[in-house]
Homo-oligomer: A and B are copies of this chain.
Amino acid sequence: MIEKEHLDYLTSIVGEENVKADKAHLIAYCYDATRERFEPDAVIFPRDEQDISKILRFCNENKIVIVPRGAGSGFTGGALPSNGGIILSLERHMNKLLEIDMENMVGVVQPGLINMDFQKAVEEVGLFYPPDPASENYSTLGGNVSENAGGMRAAKYGITKDYVVALRAVLPNGEIIKAGKKTIKDVAGYNTAGILIASEGTLAIITEITLKLIPKPKFKQTYMGVFPDVNKAMNAVFKSLAAGANPVAMEFLDALVIKALKEKFPQVELPENAGGILVGDVDGSSQAEVDSQIQTLKEAFAKFGSVGFIEAKDEAHGNSLWFARRNASPATMIYGTKKLNEDISVPRSKLPEALDAIYAIGEKYGFNVPCFGHAGDGNIHVNVMVKDKTNPKEMEDGHKAIEDIFQMVCDMGGTLSGEHGIGLSKAPFMNIAFNEAEIELFRSIKKAFDPNNILNPFKMGL
Contact = CB atoms under 8 A, between A and B. Distances in A.
| Chain A interface size, under 10 / 10 to 19 / 20 to 34 / 35 or more | 35 or more
Given A190-B198, A286-B292, A185 B418 contact: yes
B183 A190 contact: no
A407 to B, nearest CB: 14
Counting every copy of the chain, the complex holds 2
B190 A445 contact: yes
A207 interface: no
Contact of A244 (B104, B215, B419): B215
Contact of A188 (B188, B239, B416): B416
Interface in A370-411: 374, 377-379
Contacts of A244: 215, 285
A239 B102 CA distance: 9
Contact of A185 (B159, B189, B288, B413): B159
Contacts of A449: 441, 444
A-B pairs with the 8 shortest C-beta distances?
A194-B194, A175-B437, A103-B349, A185-B418, A184-B377, A444-B448, A182-B347, A448-B448
Given A181-B414, A187-B417, A195-B195, 12 more contacts: A101-B347, A101-B349, A104-B348, A175-B437, A182-B347, A184-B345, A185-B377, A189-B434, A190-B446, A194-B197, A285-B289, A286-B288
Interface of A: 101-105, 147-148, 150, 154-155, 158-159, 161-162, 171, 173, 175-178, 181-192, 194-195, 197-199, 215, 238-239, 241-242, 244, 246, 285-286, 288-289, 292, 345-349, 374, 377-379, 413-422, 426, 430, 433-435, 437-438, 440-442, 444-449, 460
